[in-house]
Amino acid sequence: MRIVRICGLSHNPNVTLYENYADEIGRLIASGTLRAGDPLPSVRQARASRGISASTVFQAYHLLEARGLVRARPRSGYFVLPRPLLREAPPPSRPLAGSHSVAVSELVFEVLSAVKSREIAPLGSAFPSPELFPLEALRRAMNAGMRKLKPWSTVDDLPPGHEPLRRQIARRYLHLGMSVTPEQIVLSNGALDGLNLCLQAVTKPGDAVVVESPCFYAALQALERLGLKAIEVATDSATGIDLAALARLLERRKPQAVWLMTSFQNPLGSLMPNDKKRALVELLARHQAPLIEDDVYAELYHGDAAPLPAKAFDTEGLVLHCSSFSKSLAPGYRVGWALPGRYAERVARLKLMTSLSGSIPAQAALAEYLQDGAFDRHLAQMRRRLQTQQQQMLAALEQHFPAGTRLTRPLGGYFVWVELPPQIDALALHRAAARDAISLAPGPMFSARAEFRHCLRLNTGHPWTPQIEQAIATLGRLAHGLC
């Protein structure tokens, strides 16, 4: 397992050049040598002083950005963040070796059912606040879309699904520099349906599938439901899965597939840098192992530029990329899509076999809504709100939580991963919090073997209110009590 250490100037032979350089800068920030607003060395300076290539410098700075320590300003280079992290980010995970069957559902359903009550502070929720979405504009789009629907749409729109919506989705990939045609897209009932269909398309019961550690519980539930085994791989809270560990696994264990969230991973919030995504896709292609890419948070980035999906680097059709509008535009519509590459026909057939098609009115409404710039205006506003809410949450956590707590500061999405001091049992905290009408997502939900017992995922997708601030204060008090 690769361990990123902020350990000074000495070269650690187990990490790459750019990681070493990033660690060095990180230490300068941690020690106060570099302070908020200070510029990082320019590429020219770094090349001259360290003898490293421009590409290495950029990779290092991207990594520091992913860690929440620095940010780029257009045409001015990189600067230390105005409010540097008081808390260290959690170290990469160290999952137990081996594959194992999965049974996380009881805990997951317990937490999900708590979230349904409006009386409970929704820190354990998987959804952003429904108030963040343009419901009235969507209703108008629905009405307009339904007027255009022809009776025969019920037959025409069988999988792969409503063509005008597939065309709009393909158009959005163009903005990322990706060439996607409507024919390559299969619409699904939200991303979860697409992910389940893609997983089923490439596996059979008993197969082993690589997941992150920690990973999205719905991936574990999908494995459980289909009788698959999970192999958990160490995952860095900033940059995602450990590629070296993955490479060893592919060599030795021949897993049937890999299921990852490459951008703003749930629960860590990690963002694989583009180069790492490219390396991931190349590695998997060498082993002809399909990648199921859950990319539902990609639109919710904080910076100026959308991250690329791993799919952007897929030349062999081995990446089954899934996304949806559920987190970014229209929760409850259950409209998602898959780009299953060489498995597209198989996925479309599984869609036909399991639920015939998605709901056509919802597909028509979104096709209508996406016709003009409304979606991008909505997203710009939503991203700003989520970023602000994250800052508010992090500030409150730093104020109220015990010393020794580590926090992630993701560059997108709406989760913060909290690593409590090791003596605090997150399940005990979860039960105590439930008595105070606060939900949270305890770490064991995100592991096939109930690891991460002193970790939590908290939702930053709700507008900051006195109720939520109070909930964080209460959680902090409870955590102190469990120390």
The CB-of-222 to its own copies minimum distance in angstroms stands at: 7
H-assigned helices in 176-211 = 190-202
Which of 356, 380, 463, 483 is the binder for its own copies (CB under 8 A)? 356
Contact between 119 and its own copies by CB under 8 A: the answer reads no
CA–CA distance, 211 with 194 (Å, rounded to integer): 17
Contact between 361 and its own copies by CB under 8 A: the answer reads yes
What mask of x and - would describe binding to its own copies in positions 137 to 166, judged by CB under 8 A?
Answer: --x--xx--xx-x-xxxxxxxx--------
Find out whether 283 and 246 touch, Cβ atoms under 8 Å. Answer: yes
CA–CA distance, 459 with 467 (Å, rounded to integer): 14
Q: In the chain, what is the straight-line distance between the N-terminal and C-terminal CA atoms, in Å?
A: 29
Closest CB to its own copies among residues 31, 117: 117
Which of 365, 426, 429, 468 is the binder for its own copies (CB under 8 A)? 365
Contact between 374 and its own copies by CB under 8 A: the answer reads no
Contact between 439 and its own copies by CB under 8 A: the answer reads no
Q: Per the omega criterion (within 30 degrees of 0), is the bond before 130 cis? A: no
Closest CB to its own copies among residues 142, 211: 142
Instruction: Please tell me the count of residues contacting its own copies according to CB under 8 A.
Output: 60
Which of 362, 468, 471, 479 is the binder for its own copies (CB under 8 A)? 362
Which of 72, 127, 398, 437 is the binder for its own copies (CB under 8 A)? 127
Contact between 464 and its own copies by CB under 8 A: the answer reads no
The CB-of-350 to its own copies minimum distance in angstroms stands at: 7
Q: Give me the long-range contacts of 144-148 (CB less than 8 A, separation at least 24).
A: 144/368, 145/361, 145/364, 145/365, 145/366, 145/367, 145/368, 145/369, 146/361, 146/364, 146/365, 148/364, 148/368
Q: Which of 268, 362, 358, 279 is nearest to 313 (CA)?
A: 279
Closest CB to its own copies among residues 27, 346: 346
Tokens of 313: 């680097």
Contact between 405 and its own copies by CB under 8 A: the answer reads no
Q: What is the dihedral of CA 324, 226, 211, 357, to 10 degrees?
A: -10
Contact between 130 and its own copies by CB under 8 A: the answer reads yes
The CB-of-63 to its own copies minimum distance in angstroms stands at: 34
Contact between 465 and its own copies by CB under 8 A: the answer reads no
- Binding positions for its own copies, 168-197, rule CB under 8 A: 188-190, 192-193, 196
CA–CA distance, 331 with 224 (Å, rounded to integer): 25
Count of beta carbons in the 10 Å neighbourhood of residue 221? 18
Tokens 């060599």 map to which residue?
A: 251
Contact between 218 and its own copies by CB under 8 A: the answer reads yes
Rounded to 10 deg, the angle between the 360-369 and 135-148 helix axes is 110
Q: Which of 472, 468, 458 is nearest to 408 (CA)?
A: 458
The CB-of-326 to its own copies minimum distance in angstroms stands at: 8
H-assigned helices in 302-460 = 344-355, 360-369, 374-400, 426-435
Contact between 376 and its own copies by CB under 8 A: the answer reads no
The CB-of-142 to its own copies minimum distance in angstroms stands at: 6
Contact between 227 and its own copies by CB under 8 A: the answer reads yes
The CB-of-368 to its own copies minimum distance in angstroms stands at: 13
CA–CA distance, 6 with 63 (Å, rounded to integer): 13
The CB-of-177 to its own copies minimum distance in angstroms stands at: 31
Closest CB to its own copies among residues 147, 175: 147
SS3 259: strand
Contact between 221 and its own copies by CB under 8 A: the answer reads yes
CA–CA distance, 293 with 24 (Å, rounded to integer): 32
Residues that bind its own copies (CB under 8 A): 105, 109, 112, 115-116, 118, 125, 127, 130-131, 133, 135, 139, 142-143, 146-147, 149, 151-158, 188-190, 192-193, 196, 200, 204-205, 218, 221-222, 225, 227, 326, 331-335, 349-350, 352-362, 365
